[in-house]
């Protein structure tokens, strides 16, 4: 008999319980100012996982979001909208709404300028708007809502304050996102400080359970030299082993966001221009892309300078070199082939796969956890004392009884480095978060007697940790969770006889 913990039947049960509690809270707040908040909590639980993209100014957040969506939606220039938290969600049509600080909403006009979304604030200023909401029929947004956040410049500036407020959390107020992708160009101490500010021992903020880092603008490493992406991969590997990073995120991946965005939105006209440059003699091609100034040099190529400038903006110096070389060497012969090559080289496929593998299997559980935190805050605002007490009691029951949340918490403690259970123990804890119980604990194969012996050995091992007199309360909590999992597995073996 196979049991699911983080992504199976148990997860569905706890999500159903939280969903039922959302409905109870909605009924308890009907006709009161708190009803809208109850509806918002329920809608967030039922929607896709919310993934925020955060990072320092000029880290490439909007470019990466565009690459993930496959369209040039997010503005990449320093305009009013880049100072606002902007949510990109799936919708059957096209719509843009501003949520004002007083809680009201207003529809905004928008246009597409060379593919990019241009939002008209209609007389509103950024300090009147809490956040922007963009509904768009992009397939990727059906699985996850993406959130573009203002750049983190310092611990006190206004833009950073908006992002920190959105991603901040407390015991009664969850972060505005269920997961975080953090972009950094170099490992600054402030990066660790910002990430650390988002962490939370109840996994409502960022932790290795629901956060990963991106070494962004990887094509610009070493002044766009030919081995920039290879160098970026080595740097990302080194960052991933840094204790200041390893305790905050599960992985560090190098990504050239501009390369990915342009690859996904490449036009036939752009490919024709690249092909014309690729037809130049080798020496002239090399001279053309030695530096940005050489690209702008009027006599350096047959194309109009304005076309070359547009190519440089779209491809970057590194991408322009790679594209021209790929066409000149016959590695690609069409815009479709060049598009695929650029996207693959960019590292976007690896990032997308990591997001799917790390965030999506845990999505419903992370969302349920965020909903519980929000409901705890809502319960205190319910006017009817009996109704308020009933919701609070249900919250306590779910919080205490859901094994899934215990597993989530244990994984957070181990992956963040707060608890050291050794290499084998850490593998077990991480495995039960994302795999069905029998496979995670190594009980899926073998004879019934062999499987029972393996389970008994694991149970004994974790019971010993749980009873260790010098272990702290966090370490005992992890061990107790694993003991309960092995006991559940053994009970399942008995039931299947």
pLDDT in tens, 295-314: 777 666 678 888 888 999 99
Confidence of residue 173 (pLDDT cuts 50, 70, 90): confident
Residue 233 CB neighbours (<10 A): 18
Reading the block at residue 479, the tokens are 């061990």
- Domain layout of the chain by residue ranges: 48-256, 260-344, 402-495
Where residue 319 falls among pLDDT bands split at 50, 70, 90? very high
Q: Which stretches within 279-435 are classed as H helix?
A: 282-288, 292-296, 305-328, 335-346, 348-358, 363-379, 385-401, 403-415, 422-434
Question: Residue 212 is encoded by which pair of tokens?
Answer: 């990963």
When pLDDT is cut at 50, 70 and 90, the band that residue 345 belongs to is very high
Q: Indicate the burial class of 493 (C-beta count within 10 angstroms; 0-12, 13-18, 19 or more).
A: middle
CB of 261 closer than 8 Å to CB of 116: no
Query: What average pLDDT does range 128-138 have in this prediction?
Result: 93
12: pLDDT confidence band, cut at 50, 70 and 90?
Answer: low
The residue among 170, 207, 145 whose CA lies nearest residue 360 is 145
pLDDT band at 222 (very low <50, low <70, confident <90, very high): low
H/E element, 483: helix 473-495
For 48-256, which CATH superfamily applies? P-loop containing nucleotide triphosphate hydrolases (3.40.50.300)
pLDDT of residue 203: 52
Residue 9 banded pLDDT, cuts 50, 70, 90:
very low
CA 52 – CA 55 distance, rounded (Å): 10
Q: For residue 11, what pLDDT is reported?
A: 61
Query: Both tokens of residue 54?
Result: 């955060």
Task: Provide the pLDDT for residue 77.
Answer: 64
What is the distance between the alpha carbons of residues 204 and 173, in angstroms, rounded to a whole number? 9
Model confidence over 378-432: pLDDT tens digits? 998 998 899 999 999 999 998 877 888 888 888 888 888 888 999 889 989 988 8
Q: How far apart are CA 405 and CA 387, in angstroms?
A: 25
Residue 480 has pLDDT above 90, yes or no: yes
Calculated CA dihedral for residues 388, 394, 395, 399, nearest 10 degrees: 160
Mean pLDDT, the chain, integer? 86
122 φψ region: left (φ > 0), alpha (ψ -120 to 50), beta (else): left
pLDDT value of residue 79:
62
Per-residue pLDDT tens over the stretch 56-76:
888 889 899 999 998 888 877
* pLDDT-wise least confident of 39-53, 74-88, 461-475: 74-88
In 3D, which of 181, 177, 161, 158 has the Cα closest to residue 169? 177
């Amino acid at each position: 008999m196979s049991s699911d913990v983080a992504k199976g039947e148990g997860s569905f049960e706890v999500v159903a319980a939280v969903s039922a509690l959302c409905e109870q809270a909605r009924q308890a707040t009907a006709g009161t100012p708190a009803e809208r908040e109850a509806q918002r909590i329920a809608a967030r639980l039922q929607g896709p996982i919310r993934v925020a993209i955060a990072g320092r100014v000029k880290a490439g957040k909007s470019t990466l979001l565009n690459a993930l969506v496959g369209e040039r939606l997010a503005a990449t220039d320093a305009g009013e909208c880049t100072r606002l938290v902007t949510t990109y969600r799936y919708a059957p049509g096209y719509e843009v709404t501003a949520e004002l600080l007083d809680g009201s909403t207003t529809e905004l006009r928008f246009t597409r300028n060379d593919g990019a979304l241009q939002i008209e604030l209609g007389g509103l200023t950024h300090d009147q708007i809490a956040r922007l909401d963009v509904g768009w029929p992009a397939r990727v947004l059906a699985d996850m809502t993406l959130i573009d956040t203002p750049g983190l410049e310092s611990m006190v500036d206004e833009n950073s304050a908006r992002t920190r407020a959105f991603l901040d959390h407390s015991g009664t107020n969850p972060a505005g996102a269920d997961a975080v992708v953090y972009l950094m160009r170099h490992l600054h101490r402030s990066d660790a400080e910002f990430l650390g500010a988002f962490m939370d021992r109840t996994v409502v903020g960022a932790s290795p359970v629901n956060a990963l880092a991106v070494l962004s603008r990887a094509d610009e490493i070493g002044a766009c030299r030919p081995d920039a992406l290879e160098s970026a991969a080595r740097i990302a590997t080194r960052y991933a082993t840094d204790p200041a990073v390893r305790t905050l995120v599960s992985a560090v991946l190098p990504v050239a966001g501009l390369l990915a965005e342009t690859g996904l939105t490449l036009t036939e006209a752009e490919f024709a221009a690249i092909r014309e440059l690729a037809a130049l003699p080798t020496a002239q091609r090399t001279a053309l892309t030695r530096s940005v100034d050489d690209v702008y040099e009027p006599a350096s190529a047959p194309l109009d300078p304005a076309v070359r400038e547009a190519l440089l903006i779209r491809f970057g110096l590194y991408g322009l070199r790679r594209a021209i070389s790929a066409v000149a060497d016959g590695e690609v012969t069409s815009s479709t082939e060049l598009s695929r090559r650029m996207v693959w080289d960019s590292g976007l496929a690896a990032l997308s796969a990591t997001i799917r593998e790390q965030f999506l299997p845990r999505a419903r559980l992370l969302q349920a956890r965020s909903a519980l935190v929000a409901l705890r805050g809502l319960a205190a605002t319910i006017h009817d004392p009996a109704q308020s007490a009933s919701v609070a009691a249900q919250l306590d029951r779910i919080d205490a009884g859901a094994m899934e949340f215990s597993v989530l918490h244990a994984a957070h403690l181990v992956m963040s480095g707060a608890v050291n259970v050794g290499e084998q123990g850490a593998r077990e804890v991480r495995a039960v978060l994302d795999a069905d119980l029998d496979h995670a604990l190594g009980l899926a194969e073998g004879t019934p007697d062999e499987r029972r012996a393996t389970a008994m050995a694991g149970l004994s091992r974790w019971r010993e940790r749980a009873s260790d007199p010098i272990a702290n309360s966090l370490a005992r909590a992890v061990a107790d969770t694993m003991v309960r999992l092995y006991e559940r597995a053994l009970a399942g073996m008995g039931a299947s006889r």
